[in-house]
Amino acid sequence: MSHEQPQIDDQVTETPQIPGLPSLKAQLKAKQEVFDSLLKQATKQMLQSCVDGSSFEDMRKFVQKTQENLVNMLVFKQQADEEAWSLVDTGVRNKMIVEDEKKLILAEYDKLREEHAALIKKCDALEKKTSKLTENFKNGVQCLRTELLEASEKDVKAANERHEKLETALKKCWKTCSGEEDEPASKKMNYHHPMIIHPTNHVINAHSSSSVA
């Protein structure tokens, strides 16, 4: 009694393409489903061949083929597991790297916050100093302006006094020279050509006084 030998798919060693899965968990689940499906298919075909009453030679070939496929499926599962563990290991290491970088960023952020706070304090201190210096400068300018004004007023007053004295002296000198006012004899003796007044009211040169005497 001959029966047609069940056909078993030989192409089980290739990793199936699973596009569009968003996460590692979904990829592992999909590969496990593929392995379970292949295993169920091989078991079902083996049971079907036994029920159909296949010959011993057909059964032997079928079992041999099934064993080869099982080995291929185990290799496929091992590759999937290795790939999964590699992905998990990579994910863990990437997560650790991200965590370390996050710690560094947070530490740098805290440091920048401290520096920013210190700069704000320095800016406040500088602003206070600038305000104080500006006020002192305004006061200094006002004081200097007042002092210069007072000094200028004093200089003007002194200059006016000198001018008045010179003008008075000039007027007296003019009157004396023009004969409008006779200067006293003492001033004539002190400030002009040496003369002496004779008791007879005659003016005699001081150089000839000895001969007159």
Does residue 112 form part of some domain?
Answer: yes
Q: Are 41 and 34 in contact (CB under 8 A)?
A: no
Does residue 162 form part of some domain?
Answer: no
Buried b (16+ CB within 10 A) or exposed e, 55-94: eeebeeebeebbeebeebbeebbeebeeebeeeeeeeeee
Does residue 86 form part of some domain?
Answer: yes
Q: Are 204 and 196 in contact (CB under 8 A)?
A: yes
Q: Are 45 and 8 in contact (CB under 8 A)?
A: yes
Q: What is the C-alpha separation between 166 and 174, in angstroms, rounded?
A: 12
Domain range holding 86?
24-119
**Is the pLDDT score of 170 beyond 70?**
yes
Write down the residue that tokens 């083996």 correspond to.
46
Digit-coded pLDDT (tens) for 53-110: 667 777 777 778 777 877 877 887 788 778 878 888 888 888 899 999 999 999 999 9
Does residue 147 form part of some domain?
Answer: no
What is the number of domains present in the chain? 1
Write down the pLDDT at residue 102: 93
Does residue 15 form part of some domain?
Answer: no
Alpha-carbon distances, residue 204 vs 71, 189, 196 (angstroms): 164, 12, 6
Does residue 37 form part of some domain?
Answer: yes
Buried b (16+ CB within 10 A) or exposed e, 1-11: eeeebbebeee
Q: What is the C-alpha separation between 155 and 149, in angstroms, rounded?
A: 10
Mean per-residue pLDDT over the chain, rounded: 73
Does residue 192 form part of some domain?
Answer: no
Does residue 43 form part of some domain?
Answer: yes
Name the helix (H) or strand (E) containing 10. none
Alpha-carbon distances, residue 171 vs 34, 167, 174, 175, 181 (angstroms): 135, 6, 5, 6, 11
Q: What is the C-alpha separation between 43 and 56, in angstroms, rounded?
A: 18
Digit-coded pLDDT (tens) for 100-131: 999 999 999 999 999 999 999 999 999 999 99
Amino acid at 12: V
- Report strand pairing: 203-205 vs 195-197: antiparallel
Write down the pLDDT at residue 53: 66
**Is the pLDDT score of 11 beyond 50?**
no
Q: What is the pTM of this model?
A: 0.35
Write down the pLDDT at residue 12: 42
Write down the pLDDT at residue 2: 43
Q: What is the DSSP letter of 18?
A: -
